[in-house]
A = this chain, B = another copy of it.
């Protein structure tokens, strides 16, 4: 864990090092992934079945690639009632938030008489990737599928590997709650290839979203262009800005709730009070004695964690913009005022009663957020990611008379004669 203070002479250098710290070993799996994609494109279902037998130790047939309704119901029946209720509450809140993101169409007639506008439509089909095993999170299903459902995607399918046939029943329930039509028990690069190119059994989709390991990420990069993809997420991050008027244990738990995700996660506290920083550091160590995932969280905290002491909240805001954190928690007296001074963050959690974990499950906003400083230029997942905008323009003869000559002039200046002639031929008719 790094301790920095803006009044240290070496601060700028140490902070720059923190910003550019390499946290992930990028494994080069690109050749393997290219071969898997080619195999699925060439041999379709047969390749999928063979790869699933090899990687997931599961024997399938084309008919059994998808779960059937009875299997899903049988699994879902095993979900404890309190978990089912929590999932329903989370889904309702996420849906209510995302409903407000539906964009509006526009149409107007301008002074020249031209009718202009745009129209939003949903992508035709979307595919959601869900990891298997330990990282098979039902909350991720909700966060990916509900925006697609709200957007009005007609066909929403999911892929999830089921190593040795094991599946998380809560993941299946989350899929049912959020309108997933079909669930295929496949994973890895082969599942991404099937969604992008289709097989005899699986129809191709237009957009693929959802988290995955290095193979899945590489496959998504490769099929991008053929289909749309969401961002490629890096390790999780949290920045907490806190004054001394907080419970150090709460802040410690907030920092650890990112650190426990994986060893590459990064948790940073910026505080106006060095003594409070010490207290949080002690609270983190105390919690690390007992936390189930203490190996992972401890490693992440030691290797990438930081506590930064600043002179005032103005400095804190400036540093936050440079960090551009995925999650930003503002535990200060006036969090709204501080938030107004910060431009770059994926999601902001205001005040001490809003631990980041609320946003992971039941807050309403999406938990798929930009990492690795990309909040400087990108946003979390939203309904817009499952829609596209078509622009509309309709000229009348009068409108063409008003704007056509400028178009013809510019076309000639760009040496694009046919462009100019296509306008001029119509103007000539009007002037005849």
A interface vs B, CB < 8 Å?
82-83, 85-87, 89-90, 93, 96-97, 100-101, 106, 108, 110, 114-116, 118-119, 121, 123-124, 134, 137-139, 170, 206-207, 225, 227-228, 232, 247, 249-250, 253-254, 256-257, 259-261, 287, 291-293, 297, 335-336, 339, 343-366, 370, 372, 374-380, 382, 384, 388-397, 399-400, 403-407, 409-411, 413-423, 425-426, 429
Contact = CB atoms under 8 A, between A and B. Distances in A.
B253 A363 contact: no
Closest 9 interchain pairs by CB? Answer: A228-B377, A365-B391, A350-B394, A86-B406, A253-B422, A86-B409, A357-B419, A256-B418, A379-B389
23 contacts: A86-B409, A89-B403, A90-B407, A115-B350, A124-B344, A139-B414, A250-B426, A253-B425, A256-B418, A260-B417, A287-B418, A348-B391, A348-B392, A351-B394, A353-B399, A354-B395, A357-B416, A357-B420, A358-B404, A358-B423, A360-B411, A379-B388, A384-B384
B291 A355 contact: no
A361 to B, nearest CB: 4
Nearest to A253: B422
A344 B119 CA distance: 11
Given A343-B121, A358-B404, A363 B417 contact: no
Contacts of A351: 394-395
Contacts of A119: 339
Contacts of A365: 116, 118, 391-393
Which of A115, A123, A377 has the largest count of B CB atoms less than 10 A from its CB? A377
Contacts of A407: 86, 90, 357-358, 360-362
Contacts of A261: 416
A105 B106 CA distance: 18
Contacts of A134: 415
Contact of A376 (B93, B123, B355, B391): B123
A240 to B, nearest CB: 11
Contacts of A370: 388
Nearest to A397: B353
A349 B395 CA distance: 8
